[in-house]
A and B are shown apart, each in its own frame.
Chain A
Amino acid sequence: MHAHFSPTRRALLAVTFGAAFAPAALAASPQGEPILLGVSGPLTGPNAQYGAQWKKGFDLALDAINGAGGVKGRPLQYQFEDSQADPRQTVAIAQKFVSDPKIVVELGDFSSTASMAASSIYQRAGLVQFGFTNSHPNFTKGGDFIWSSSVSQADETPRLAKYATELGFKKLAVLYLNTDWGRTSQTLFSNAAKSLGAEVVAAEGYQPDEKDFRSTLVRVRDANPDVIVLISYYADGALIARQIRSVGLKTPIVANGSVYSPKFIELAGDAANGVFTETNFFPGEQRPEVQNFVTKFRARYSEDPDTFNAVAYDTIVLMAQVFDQFGTERAGVRDGLAKVKDVPSVIFGKATFDPETRRVAGARAVYLEVRDGKFAPWDGVKPTTN
């Protein structure tokens, strides 16, 4: 909720609370002028749930950082402006942020298209636009102030293709969300699959609000695939998976990492079992960064985190380190992103940016399979063809 208060009010609150709990908090609470991160993202509208996921990740990271004294004694805060992932609004918000000198970096927006509409404003004004969920291959080409920690689709989808072929599938039917994200992924996926010797026997694009896939599945079935590949988000992925099973198709399903969320299992029910997917973030992984994050998330929110929470969390951690090492001047933040090395990251393990692409190289993937209503690492057993 504090995102809605003005900076002065927040500072006032911080000071008041600090004074009230002085003895206990004195050691930990940062007292300096807050470092302000501008966040442009969907709080309302069709993608509102992702904005909510971001907030959870942000808040968790801020708890830890501000609880440990902030960055050089200054607390980190974010100012979340609701863009509804609408390019008209991201542009207005961009103008607002660039002309507010207290904002040192911008995070978001949710979709690549919404972010790209505003990129030129950030670039011209010299404020870093950090689109941490923007995976469009052209996003970071907007200029040297445009950065992203999101794995580019150009890196992610070939990995999915690799997984599919490693599972032994040769004839792939692809169902993809017909947006720029889905389209880009589908093209990259199909190319990668072909180069690995597999054949794409069907490719069906569907609208984001589509609910009924039965006739689509007839088309797919008629193409005789040995696997159905889903390039979807978790809600539509779940719908499709359910309908695949309810029309009686036993074809195995491989889905891209966006379905990786407890919501997928909740919405897909039994149909989720046996679905293969891969992720950059798996709570079961024993890496300390992951466990640290997952434990704290579960403690605070009583639920398991998903990728959106994780990337948001990572972003705050990253920014804190950049501020700490390179200062809070806008140009300095840009330079810092290029120079910062080995930032602890839930997604990447240790994150370092490639200054050429302005993305993080070397995301790792965990191959997963859903078993008994839970995501579990793939045990290496290839499914038998039916």
Chain B
Amino acid sequence: MNSFIDYTVNGLVIGNVYALLAVGLALIFGVANLINFAHGSVYTIGAYVGWAAITFLHTPLAVTILIVAVACGALGAAIERVALRPLQGRARIAPLLATIGLSFVLDQLVQLIASPNPRALPVDLPDWRISIGGGSVGPMDILIAGVGLSSAALLYGFLRFTKLGYAVRATAQDRDAARQMGVNVDGVNSAVFAIASALGGVSGLLVGMYYNHIDPAMSFQATLKGVVAVVIGGVGNVPGAIVGSLLLGLTESYGIALFGTTYRNLFAFALLILFLLVLPNGLFGGRKAVEAEPMTGTFIAPSRALRVPDYVVAALAAGAFALPLVAPAPYLLQVLTNSWLAGLLALSLTLVAGAAGQMSFGHAGLLAIGGYASALLATDYGVMPLVSVPVAGVVTSLLGTALVFPAFRLRGHYIAIATLAIGEIVSLVILNWESLTHGAMGVTGIPPLSAFGYEVTSARAVYWLTLSALVAFALLQARLSSSHIGRTLRALRDDEIAARSHGVKVTRYKALAFGFAGFGAGVSGAISAHLFSYLNNQTFDSQLSLLAVTMAILGGMGNILGAIVGAVALVGLPEAFRFAAEYRILIYGIVLLLLVRFRPQGLLGTT
């Protein structure tokens, strides 16, 4: 019983820490209808600004907090002005993608400037502790709770009772109407971003002090947990964010108590999925009425696909096949092999996100399922890779569809969050299900690709094999696209309600799309597993999922040739610029930002 109290206290303590970030996220969502994935980066920058202030200016705590708040507030306003305001009026998911690109850019900038080594961030608070149960809390806990609660209270009061607060809420409800009423909508948005970012930066500072640890990679986990807390509390609900955070903290703590530390994040994401399915508006979000306008879950910019004549495509394919005979440098072939494998992933994503309108931010999970399926079949059960690879494709098709199935009825940012969480869950299940997957040890000694004893190991052979898989899948996907199924998927994407009203069974077709796409991704993961000869739960990670999205957008959502072009551009080209390797991820972020802003239809146009 004693321990139960301790777990509860600890859950509240960590929930307290999450709450600081969650409040800022909730505020931005409430006003701009946007999950700001760059919030975690502002949080990180806040910590570093604070570090700089303390180290170079020796400022006392209160002044440091002020400096951080001002600096991050300015950053937030700049983000809104430069990256988000130009995207008004676009599909909801455009700003979300922009914030993802921003988060890449900001995180990389921090890493380039400050080095990836973690730093200490000492705090000059008194050293007493209050015992609660078997544990204790200290002044930092109190400070964090104080800042979190008071900012939530202040924000709540501000939104409820002040004139500017009314303006903010009006803008959130209906931007155009608010503008008509004389509200300076742009100013309101700037103000909100500034406030939320100031709060985000301060939370980074305080959390950095709490753990005496800051590093450039802080942002991703922080954002994820913040998003979970906000969804639980009800997106847009500021006090709800605090409740959500505490609930998240408690869930994690009890999860650890029951099953052990490795289950912590699994519980967090399972909680998220549970809420998305059962109570998508969170605990305090209220119930929504019937939607009036068509809400699409994806990012399609109306455009015509570039008409590439068939003979050009055939020539390109022939050229690709002939390449090893002309320029057999193994390095080049290896780079292109990586591109073909990435191309399979991009094709898979562009089908579901482009053609079917189901954005997927966890697509790397499909690679993991395929990779593990084939690796385990080959290593533990001695199945020939010629057989295990297609079987892995089928497994991925079925399992992948089953996993994403509950998310089919979600829209816009919810689908982004859900698929991101599902991707993380796949990775965590792989990590924890040791009896099946060998857990953290991974699968070693995966045999190379072979058929009936003949091994495919030379750079050329592997190149041809993967290229064949890519071309075959692309042709099949083109065939699918020109069939009634392709048409039906595009109709679903454009207007699900109108589609249903003409007899289209939405779930059936979304499942079809995912099933087909899952096969391609599964095969890609399976082939990779045999090429790497080693696989663990981190081989196919969330960064790869986001890279897949960037590839698909770059090529043009739904565009088959575009997906391959996007893959070659984002996976192959960076190899040619190895001297810029340090800036690779920075460049991905910039590419994504530029695409979303200036050329959302990608290079070859959407279908």
Binding site for B on A (CB under 8 A): 4, 43-49, 52, 81-82, 84, 87-88, 91-92, 95-96, 98-99, 113, 116-117, 119-120, 124, 138, 178-180, 182-184, 204-207, 209-216, 218-219, 221-222, 235, 238-239, 242, 246-248, 263, 266-269
Contact = CB atoms under 8 A, between A and B. Distances in A.
Given A44-B584, A116-B533, A235-B213, 15 more contacts: A47-B116, A49-B115, A52-B117, A92-B575, A95-B334, A95-B335, A99-B331, A117-B532, A120-B448, A184-B441, A205-B262, A214-B253, A218-B6, A248-B131, A248-B136
B532 A88 contact: yes
Interface in B252-302: 252-253, 256-257, 260-262, 264-265
Given A206-B262, A210-B264, A221 B134 contact: yes
Contact of A113 (B117, B119, B212, B536): B536
Contacts of A92: 331, 334-335, 338, 575
Contact of B120 (A91, A120, A207, A266): A266
Given A91-B334, A267-B120, A215 B256 contact: yes
Interface residues of B, number: 72
Given A95-B331, A120-B533, A212-B14, A180 B442 contact: yes
B412 to A, nearest CB: 28
B180 to A, nearest CB: 47
A238 B214 CA distance: 12
B534 A209 contact: no
Nearest to B572: A92
Contacts of A218: 3, 6-7, 10, 134-135, 257
A179 B440 contact: yes
Contacts of B331: 92, 95-96, 99
B111 interface: yes
Given A180-B440, A267-B118, A211 B213 contact: yes
Contacts of A216: 256, 261
Contacts of A49: 115-118
A247 B135 contact: yes
A124 B221 CA distance: 40
B120 A269 contact: yes
A145 to B, nearest CB: 15
Interface string B1-34: 0010011001101100100000000000000000
A87 B534 contact: yes
Interface of B: 3, 6-7, 10-11, 13-14, 17, 108, 111, 115-120, 122, 129, 131, 134-136, 138, 211-213, 215, 217, 220-221, 252-253, 256-257, 260-262, 264-265, 329-331, 333-335, 338, 431, 439-442, 444-445, 448, 457, 459, 528, 531-534, 536, 538-539, 575, 578-579, 581-585
A235 B120 CA distance: 10
Q: Which 5 A-B pairs have the closest CB atoms?
A: A82-B581, A95-B334, A48-B116, A49-B117, A214-B10
A116 B444 contact: yes
26 contacts: A43-B581, A46-B217, A47-B116, A48-B111, A49-B118, A81-B581, A82-B581, A92-B334, A95-B459, A99-B329, A119-B533, A180-B442, A182-B440, A209-B217, A214-B10, A214-B253, A215-B6, A215-B7, A215-B257, A215-B261, A216-B261, A219-B256, A239-B213, A242-B212, A248-B136, A266-B119
Contacts of A43: 581-582
A52 B114 CA distance: 13
Contact of B582 (A44, A87, A242, A246): A44
A266 B329 CA distance: 47
A46 B116 contact: yes
B261 A206 contact: yes
Contact of B136 (A205, A213, A247): A247
A101 to B, nearest CB: 13
Nearest to B13: A214
B534 A117 contact: yes
Contacts of A120: 448, 457, 533
Contacts of A212: 14, 17
Chain B CB count within 10 A is highest, among A49, A81, A92, A266, for A92
Nearest to A79: B578
Contacts of B217: 46, 209
A178 B440 contact: yes
A83 B302 CA distance: 38
Contact of A215 (B17, B252, B445, B578): B252
Given A204-B260, A210-B264, A235-B215, A124 B457 contact: yes
A179 B431 CA distance: 9
Nearest to A238: B213
A281 to B, nearest CB: 19
A179 B541 CA distance: 14
Contacts of B457: 120, 124
B532 A87 contact: yes
Nearest to B540: A88
A295 B185 CA distance: 62
B534 A113 contact: yes
Contacts of A205: 260-262, 440
Nearest to B122: A269
Contacts of A204: 260-262
Contacts of A263: 117-118
A56 to B, nearest CB: 12
Nearest to B531: A91
Contacts of A242: 211-212
B257 to A, nearest CB: 6
